[in-house]
Chains A and B, each alone.
Chain A
Amino acid sequence: MSLPLLSSIIWLPILGAGTVLTLGEHRQNLVRQVTFGFAVVTFLLSLGLFTGFDPTTYAMQFVEDAPWIPSFGIRYSLGVDGISAPLILLTTFSTVLVILSGWEVIQYRVSQYMAAFLVMEGVMVGAFSAMDAMLFYFFWEGMLIPMFLIIGIWGGTQRVYATVKFFLYTFLGSVFMLVALIYLAYTADSFNILKLQALDHIGLNTQILIFIAFMLAFAVKVPMWPVHTWLPDAHVEAPTGGSVILAAIMLKMGGYGFLRLSLPIVPDGSQYLSGLMIALSLIAVVYIGLVALVQQDMKKLIAYSSISHMGFVTLGTFAAFTALSLGNRSAAVLGMEGGMVQMISHGFISGAMFLCVGVLYERAHSRLISDYGGVANTMPIFAALMVLFGMANSGLPGTSGFVGEFMVILSVFQANIWYAFLAATSLLLGAAYTLWMIKRVVFGPVANDHVAALSDINRREFIILGVLAFFVLLLGLWPAPLVDMMRESVGHLVDQISHSKI
């Protein structure tokens, strides 16, 4: 192991952030180019995770381990498996696109903007790859500060309300997770996550309490109904790049937390409360889908659509317990794989949709559906891409949006037909709110002078959206590489939750 790959992916962007900050405000173009350079190099490094990944084992790969705080046995311990590696790739990929998307629209404090996103990238990769509970928490909380500043400095009119709400909500959830982790580490006499997962003989009541502590942190991040109310505000008020990172990656942290911590450490507690989690997921899918239907603001609509799609992730994860109780292991694996595929696919699709709205906002300075109409007349190329992403959001077969949802519905069908029925309504609702928005914004005659004055997307925007379109289609038509990568790890996780720890 010549180059510590994970450490490089984490610290290179943070180093880049420092470099960019020292460049200052007077060389804005240089700042942008340097940031882009760091983001691209980080992405290329992360490809090493893909090429060097061994899909035949569920063990941690690219492991690094060094002492950090010896007084407590906290170690700087990194590693990835089939669950975290795709998420890291999604992170580095999204950051490149986000840097590109902020090229022209961000004019105030460019170096601080770019530095904030680079720091976020490093910290998020750190959270996905941390193998020590305290290192994980360090990175998990560390995400709050850059996001707080991004929304608050470069956001919309209500940005302060949105960012403070985001911060306090997430912080409150996370501190209970901290107490739970400290308690678990005391019981296991180690902070290593794998050792925490191997803890045995935990009583059911203790497991339920620990699960609730974890749930408070992860349910706020996902977000699950009813602790989702921070998301629409945060998404609407954040700058485009901030919305993309929030939707594409930060939400996945919640799902990752369930998969890495809640399920393996307290499987009986998770199983006991799985009915509640399934109910909350279905409420997210159906009720939030209906809420999305009545939105006037495009960004808010996509935000609610995000919550609805993340409902599939938690549904697939927790319906696995129902499947296992019926003795159907393959359905459980299918459901979890579907949830993971949905995470990656949703990263692409919602990222793309926020970027589309960003393109429109940069030109017409409005996010209201009523201010648009007939955009296809003046921006045909953009309209084609936006329609593609809208179809993907609706779950059209052939796009990545279908794969994850289909896998989850298939698995849930084998567990309980009513869950499947409710989950499948998302296909209906998703199409309803997305396509109705697309129809009102993109199709029809030119609605007003603002639309008539719109110019089509330039080369930079085309590259961003085009690359996303490529991956949406690729994942939709050929999801095998992704599913192969995660198969062993998901299988191992299902085995872990099949064994009772009481």
Chain B
Amino acid sequence: MTFEMLKLAAAGPEILVLAGTCLILMVDVFRSQGRTLTYWLSLLLLFMGGGMTLLTFGEHVGPALNGHFIRDALGDLIKIFIYLTAFATFVYSRDYLQDRRQLKGEFLVLGLFAVLGMLVMVSAGSFVSLFLGLELLSLPMYAMIALDRNSATATEAAMKYFVMGAIASGMLLYGMSMLYGATGSLDLIRVSETLHRMMEGHAGQEQLVLIFGTVFIVVGVSFKLGAVPFHMWVPDVYQGASTPMTLFLGTAPKLAGFAMLIRLLVGTLDPLVGQWQQMLAILAVLSMAVGNVVAISQTNLKRMLGYSTIAHVGFMLLGIIAGNPQGYGAALFYIIIYSLMAAGSFGMILLLSRVGFEADLVEDFKGLNDRSPWFAAMMGILMFSMAGLPPFVGFWAKWEVLRAVVNAGQLWIALVAVAFSVIGAWYYLRVIWFMYFEKPRDTTPLIPAVDMGVMISANGLALLYLGVFPSSLIAVCLTVWGVR
């Protein structure tokens, strides 16, 4: 083993983030008054990490760190959006947390460690590094949710998330151990090669182990994504956690979960594709059904968005079960757009909240058009985009998945998916209804912080712009899969 095999340059941005986070942690310890220096340093670090990934996009492709780290274009693309959504989370949360004197260094540093965990997950080259990244993502998040220690619901949410997350990690680990036992390797590429050989040889006894391993891995991944029937934690945690935490939870980790799905199922377990495709198909349809139908009766906007997340995850899984690069590219595009929309939606809840007032009920948006037409329009864009209506990019995200499904010959699934989309449109319409057709109950003038207002506006306008000119992002999402 030589030093060259480590190929540290490929993991450059991750090393930067690690070093930067440790530095920020030390700076935060010794700087007592005001937290804004830590905040700006965190933003700077995310910007630098994202910038470095963008500048070296597509270079250093291949395994690094003795095979535990894989750098490729797909990973780079997902990582750029992880940096972007984490950046948005910090910007959206700053004002809210400062008002409540909760902008502690712990929040920012834990968030940065979670980002690092996500980056490691996305580039995982072995079961060990994948699990390491997953835990590095999850443990800080449990702590972040519990930071709000004066809130009983937050503590409950943290407990629920911790217990469910531990079970999920356990399932995943169990599945990984079965695959290790069957193939004798932890390296994802080598496991995949061994599985190919084993499937060709039709080794009977080992097949059962493989199927068991696949099932446990699918279960673990579905827990993390929040697919039915492993979705129970999503509404409770989304509602119970304080809104900045829900924002963080609902955006970047979904991208990382998607990457985990890809690395494990599409990449490693490719020889067993027939097995997990069927499982995912059932999960997808159930998720769309449960998510869309139960969201209708929700009065708490965060809980409603939690159920809508379940529905969106189901839709995204449809792209995966299409089984070809067009489908994977569609699912990638979908999850990226979803994370942008989720960031904006929770950001709007943060925008409307003030000291002593949490704007997490749908009712709190009543008459927003009278209070602030611009931000009502931004929320309108977010809601219509989530519902999948043109001219916003949410339409193209749904469309691309539908196209992949139809072209793969699964017409009935496409029809079921669009039927559930129409059912789902109702609860987004309700938000629009409250904003535009009702008089405001709360007539406090809405004056958000400048950075928040600018970022939300950019978020909303990006959805409109990408809706009219989606071609470049769509093309990138397809190119990373090798499609034209």
Q: Are A and B interaction partners? A: yes
Whether B389 and A141, one on each chain, are in contact in the complex, defined by CB atoms closer than 8 angstroms, is yes
Query: Looking at A67, A149, A178, which has the most chain B CB atoms within 10 Å of its CB?
Result: A178
Question: Which candidate, B166-174, B229-237, B421-429, is the interface stretch facing chain A?
Answer: B421-429
Q: How far is the CB of B143 from chain A (nearest CB, A)?
A: 42
Query: Which of A139, A164, A168, A186 touches B433 (beta carbons < 8 Å)?
Result: A164
Q: What would 16 more interface pairs be, CB under 8 Å, given A69-B471, A148-B429, A149-B436?
A: A67-B471, A68-B471, A69-B396, A70-B475, A71-B471, A112-B369, A134-B399, A138-B390, A139-B390, A142-B389, A159-B437, A160-B433, A168-B425, A182-B406, A183-B406, A186-B403
Q: Is A478 an interface residue (CB 8 A)?
A: no
CA distance in complex: A112, B437 (Å): 13
Q: How far is the CB of B332 from chain A (nearest CB, A)?
A: 13
Whether A141 and B395, one on each chain, are in contact in the complex, defined by CB atoms closer than 8 angstroms, is yes
CA distance in complex: A312, B98 (Å): 65
Question: Which candidate, A29-37, A169-177, A268-276, A341-349, is the interface stretch facing chain B?
Answer: A169-177
8 Å CB contacts to A: which residues of B24-74? none
Residue of A nearest to B392 (CB): A145
Main secondary structure of the interface of B (DSSP, over half): helix
Interface string of A140-157 (1 = CB under 8 A from B): 011011001100110000
Assess A71 versus B474: contact at CB under 8 Å? Given A164-B433, A168-B425, A186-B406. yes
Interface string of B366-403 (1 = CB under 8 A from A): 00010001000000000010000111000110010011
What are the residues of chain B within 8 A of A70 when measuring CB–CB? 471, 475
Whether A179 and B422, one on each chain, are in contact in the complex, defined by CB atoms closer than 8 angstroms, is no
CA distance in complex: A186, B484 (Å): 17
CA distance in complex: A145, B384 (Å): 8
What are the residues of chain B within 8 A of A159 when measuring CB–CB? 437
Q: Is A499 an interface residue (CB 8 A)?
A: no
Query: Which of A153, A171, A179 touches B411 (beta carbons < 8 Å)?
Result: A179
Residue of B nearest to A141 (CB): B390
Residue of A nearest to B402 (CB): A182
Q: How far is the CB of B380 from chain A (nearest CB, A)?
A: 8
Assess A164 versus B429: contact at CB under 8 Å? Given A71-B484, A171-B422, A179-B415. yes
Q: How far is the CB of B471 from chain A (nearest CB, A)?
A: 5
8 Å CB contacts to B: which residues of A97-144? 109, 112, 134, 137-139, 141-142, 144
Q: Is A72 an interface residue (CB 8 A)?
A: yes
Assess A178 versus B475: contact at CB under 8 Å? Given A145-B389, A168-B426, A183-B411. no
Whether A178 and B369, one on each chain, are in contact in the complex, defined by CB atoms closer than 8 angstroms, is no
Whether A176 and B415, one on each chain, are in contact in the complex, defined by CB atoms closer than 8 angstroms, is yes
Whether A167 and B425, one on each chain, are in contact in the complex, defined by CB atoms closer than 8 angstroms, is yes
Residue of B nearest to A186 (CB): B407
What are the residues of chain B within 8 A of A172 when measuring CB–CB? 419, 422
CA distance in complex: A306, B248 (Å): 51
What are the residues of chain B within 8 A of A112 when measuring CB–CB? 369, 373
Whether B402 and A178, one on each chain, are in contact in the complex, defined by CB atoms closer than 8 angstroms, is yes
Q: Is B478 an interface residue (CB 8 A)?
A: yes
Q: How far is the CB of A184 from chain B (nearest CB, A)?
A: 10
What are the residues of chain B within 8 A of A69 when measuring CB–CB? 396, 470-471, 474
Query: Which of A67, A149, A164, A175 touches B422 (beta carbons < 8 Å)?
Result: A175
Whether A182 and B403, one on each chain, are in contact in the complex, defined by CB atoms closer than 8 angstroms, is yes
Chain B: residues with Cβ within 8 Å of the partner, total of 34
Interface string of A177-191 (1 = CB under 8 A from B): 011001100100000
What are the residues of chain A within 8 A of B407 when measuring CB–CB? 182, 186
What are the residues of chain B within 8 A of A179 when measuring CB–CB? 402, 406, 411, 414-415, 418
Q: Is B285 an interface residue (CB 8 A)?
A: no
Whether A175 and B436, one on each chain, are in contact in the complex, defined by CB atoms closer than 8 angstroms, is no
Whether A168 and B422, one on each chain, are in contact in the complex, defined by CB atoms closer than 8 angstroms, is yes
Interface string of B453-484 (1 = CB under 8 A from A): 00000000000000000110011001000011
Q: How far is the CB of A466 from chain B (nearest CB, A)?
A: 35
Q: Is B119 an interface residue (CB 8 A)?
A: no
Whether A152 and B437, one on each chain, are in contact in the complex, defined by CB atoms closer than 8 angstroms, is yes
Whether B433 and A152, one on each chain, are in contact in the complex, defined by CB atoms closer than 8 angstroms, is yes
Chain A: residues with Cβ within 8 Å of the partner, total of 35
What are the residues of chain A within 8 A of B121 when measuring CB–CB? none
Assess A153 versus B373: contact at CB under 8 Å? Given A178-B399, A182-B402, A182-B406. no
Residue of B nearest to A74 (CB): B471
CA distance in complex: A18, B116 (Å): 42
Q: Is B348 an interface residue (CB 8 A)?
A: no
CA distance in complex: A112, B435 (Å): 14
Q: How far is the CB of B15 from chain A (nearest CB, A)?
A: 34
Q: Is B88 an interface residue (CB 8 A)?
A: no
Whether A71 and B475, one on each chain, are in contact in the complex, defined by CB atoms closer than 8 angstroms, is yes
Query: Which of A109, A134, A137, A183 touches B369 (beta carbons < 8 Å)?
Result: A109
Whether A142 and B437, one on each chain, are in contact in the complex, defined by CB atoms closer than 8 angstroms, is no
Whether A171 and B403, one on each chain, are in contact in the complex, defined by CB atoms closer than 8 angstroms, is no
Q: Is B182 an interface residue (CB 8 A)?
A: no
Interface string of B80-118 (1 = CB under 8 A from A): 000000000000000000000000000000000000000
Q: How far is the CB of A423 from chain B (nearest CB, A)?
A: 34
Q: Is B245 an interface residue (CB 8 A)?
A: no
Q: Is B432 an interface residue (CB 8 A)?
A: yes
Would you give 15 A-B contacts (Cβ < 8 Å), ordered by A?
Answer: A69-B471, A71-B478, A72-B403, A109-B369, A138-B390, A142-B389, A144-B389, A152-B436, A159-B437, A167-B425, A172-B419, A179-B406, A179-B418, A182-B402, A182-B406
Whether B418 and A175, one on each chain, are in contact in the complex, defined by CB atoms closer than 8 angstroms, is yes
Query: Which of B391, B414, B418 touches A142 (beta carbons < 8 Å)?
Result: B391
Interface string of A421-461 (1 = CB under 8 A from B): 00000000000000000000000000000000000000000
What are the residues of chain A within 8 A of B432 when measuring CB–CB? 148-149
8 Å CB contacts to B: which residues of A259-294? none
What are the residues of chain A within 8 A of B475 when measuring CB–CB? 70-71
Residue of A nearest to B438 (CB): A160
CA distance in complex: A137, B402 (Å): 14
Residue of B nearest to A143 (CB): B390
Residue of A nearest to B404 (CB): A182
What are the residues of chain A within 8 A of B437 when measuring CB–CB? 152-153, 159-160, 163
CA distance in complex: A434, B265 (Å): 66
CA distance in complex: A469, B156 (Å): 69
What are the residues of chain B within 8 A of A186 when measuring CB–CB? 403, 406-407
A-B pairs with lowest CB-CB distance, top 9: A175-B418, A152-B437, A69-B471, A138-B390, A172-B422, A182-B406, A141-B390, A142-B390, A71-B475
Q: How far is the CB of B461 from chain A (nearest CB, A)?
A: 12
Q: How far is the CB of B57 from chain A (nearest CB, A)?
A: 18
Q: How far is the CB of A27 from chain B (nearest CB, A)?
A: 15
What are the residues of chain B within 8 A of A145 when measuring CB–CB? 384, 389
What are the residues of chain B within 8 A of A167 when measuring CB–CB? 425, 429
Residue of A nearest to B426 (CB): A168
Q: How far is the CB of A202 from chain B (nearest CB, A)?
A: 15
What are the residues of chain A within 8 A of B484 when measuring CB–CB? 71
Q: How far is the CB of B315 from chain A (nearest CB, A)?
A: 13
What are the residues of chain A within 8 A of B415 when measuring CB–CB? 176, 179
Q: How far is the CB of B172 from chain A (nearest CB, A)?
A: 34
What are the residues of chain A within 8 A of B395 when measuring CB–CB? 138, 141
CA distance in complex: A149, B369 (Å): 11
Residue of B nearest to A69 (CB): B471
Q: How far is the CB of B387 from chain A (nearest CB, A)?
A: 9
Query: Looking at B402, B406, B415, B421, which has the most chain A CB atoms within 10 Å of its CB?
Result: B406
Residue of A nearest to B433 (CB): A160
What are the residues of chain A within 8 A of B402 when measuring CB–CB? 178-179, 182
What are the residues of chain A within 8 A of B390 when measuring CB–CB? 137-139, 141-142
8 Å CB contacts to A: which residues of B248-281? none
Residue of B nearest to A119 (CB): B391
